[in-house]
Structure 1
Amino acid sequence: MNLPKVFRSSTKTISGSTLTWNDYFTLRRRRRIAERVITIPTTLGGFGLSLGYVATREFDPTPIFGQEPIIIYGIGTLVCGLSGLLIGPILGSSLWKLFHQEEVRLMEQRDREFYEHIRKNRADPSLHTLRNPAPDYYGEKIKSVADYRKWLRKQREIVKKGTFHIGEESI
């Protein structure tokens, strides 16, 4: 099959029932790319199909919801494009899972572990301020083990800054 790289299964097989963190981040990145790539045609498809419908339609001059029909049809066309934008990541994720069936179970297991690490090590939201905002609350920007370590350091800095300034408000 001639599939784009993000949909092809990796050439190296994942041994045993564990997935290394580096492999996990690589597969996670490929899954996100697949979701984003599929979003483009679904958005254009939704927009194009609705535009094609509106272009072949004869307009009745009777107002719809008190507005000109062309305005309502234009809003409908935009809504169809936005629906394609929302459906794209769902379809992309489903296609990725279809072509990576052996890795899906391992990925889901690592996802649970990763998000448990994120939840456990995340700084308390009450410590976040405008001057000290929360960096990457859900860990979406973490792309490697080194990025995870940087994220942990930033979370610790927030805890230090937040707890250090607690007693200064009464002065």
Structure 2
Amino acid sequence: MLTNNIGIFSRVITKRSSNYLRSNIIHRFNSSSASKPQLSWQEYFKLKKQRNTINLGASVLTGLGGAAITLVSISNIEFDEKPIFGFDPVIVLSSFVILGGGVGYLVGPAIGSSLFKLSNKKALQQFTFRDQQFLSKIKVKRVDPSSQSFSNPVPDYYGEKIYSLKDYKQWLRDCNAFRRKSKEFL
């Protein structure tokens, strides 16, 4: 009777421990799969290009808006033919319009990155993980710019013009050519 109860007790413990192990394995599997990126490199480069396009478009729009706002606010000012800051008033006021457009252009990427984050909420975490991976690869593979010259310029130091795997491979070849040229000519 005692051996029969022990057998039943051991089966219950084994069943419970196997369920615990199974749920633990599933939990670990799910948590580790969430931390690993599901975003392929092609999708990453597509999103990177989309981010840069949105930032550029937002910069152009905010630059034009800043220039327009400055122009409207300056057009309400009455001025006579006296010099402003020792310069002709038309030159000073037009430089203010250009300055307003420049400030607007600099504000554009902040608005563009917000729009990009809003439009790609689902893939944003994976995108930032891939972006960190990409930037660490660029940091390791890029060349030392101290040996650059007019005949041997540094190839895209920050990897800003890389939008595909083909571009990345070409960038690596350019970096190797730069290293080779800098060794041969120095």
TM-score by length of 2: 0.74
SS at match of 2:122: helix
Aligned to 2:171: 151
The alignment covers a number of residue pairs equal to 152
SS at match of 1:102: coil
Q: Is 1:48 the equivalent of 2:60?
A: no
Partner of 1:5: none
Cα separation, partners in 2 of 1:69 and 1:164, compared to 1, 3 Å: closer
61-70 vs 143-152, greater mean Cα deviation: 61-70
1:2-151 correspondence to structure 2 within 5 Å: 17-18=36-37, 19-151=39-171
Once the two structures are aligned, what percentage of the paired residues are identical?
38
Query: What is the alpha-carbon root mean square deviation over aligned residues?
Result: 1.9
Which residue number in structure 1 is paired with residue 25 of structure 2?
Answer: none
- Could you tell me which runs of 5 or more consecutive residues in structure 1 were left unpaired when the two chains were aligned: 1-14, 167-171
Letter in 2 for 1:142: I
Q: Cα distance 1:161–1:66, how it changes in 2: closer, same or farther (>3 A)?
A: closer
Aligned partner letter, 1:151:
W
Offset of 1:67 from its aligned partner?
Answer: 2.9
Deviations 1:22-46 (Å, cap 9, x if unpaired)? 1100000011111111122211111
Q: Which runs of 5+ in 2 are unaligned?
A: 1-32
Q: 1:115 to 1:57 in 2, by over 3 A?
A: same
Q: Distance in 2 between matches of 1:66 and 1:142?
A: 47
Change (3 A) 1:20 1:65: same
Following superposition, the deviation at residue 152 of structure 1 comes to 0.7
- Structure with the greater alpha carbon radius of gyration: 2
User: 1:50 is aligned with what amino acid?
Assistant: T
Q: Return closer, same or farther for 1:69/1:131 CA change in 2, 3 Å cut-off.
A: closer
**SS, match of residue 161 in structure 2:** coil
Task: Label 1:157 to 1:54 Cα distance change in 2 as closer, same or farther (>3 A).
Answer: same
Q: Residues 113-135 of structure 1, C-alpha deviation per residue, up to 9 Å, x if partnerless?
A: 11111111112223322211111
